[in-house]
Structure 1
Amino acid sequence: MKLEFRQSFAKDLKGKDPETLKRLKSLIEELEDSDSLRHIANVKNLRGTDSYYRIRMGNYRLGLRQEGNKIVVLRFLHRKEIYRYFP
C-alpha cells in the first residue's frame, strides 16, 4: 500500500527509545508490503468512524486513516495519550 506521513507523526517520534523506533520501522515496512489492513496484526477500526484505525504496538498506538488505496499515518503516541489526540 502507498503510505503518507503527516508532520504530527514525525513530531511524535522525537524522544522515543531506539528499540521502539526499530519495531515501528518494521511495522511500517509491513504496511508498505501489505495489500490490505486486514493482513496486519493488531489492527482495529475505531468505533464511530469508517476510515480511522489504530495498530497496537506494546504501550504505543499508531493512528492511521485509510483513503482508498492510500494509508495516512497520523500519530504515534503512548496508549494513555492516543485517544486524546486521535482522531
Structure 2
Amino acid sequence: MNIRTSRPESDFPRIVDLVNLYERLPVSLAQFHKWDEFMPPGRTCRRMVAVNNEDQVVGCSQISHETWYPPGHFYIWITIDP
C-alpha cells in the first residue's frame, strides 16, 4: 500500500464511490469536482489517497484549513474501503 496525492481525473470516481458508502444523500462525480474547485482566497486543502499495489484507491483523506478557522485549526476527513 502507498499514499500519494490524489489525481482528480483518475481518482475522483473511486473517491466518490467511497464517499457514497456513508453519505445519506448520494454525491455525484460532478458535485465532487465542484467541491474540489471551491478554493476561496486563504483556503488550504490537500487530498491524499491510499492505493494498493495495482494503484487502485482503497482510502482517501482531506485536510483543510478554511478561511474562518482560527490559526492552527484544520478539518480532517478520512474514509477507507471497508
TM-score, L = length of structure 2: 0.29
**Which is richer in helix?**
1
> Which one has a bigger Cα radius of gyration?
2
TM-score by length of 1: 0.28
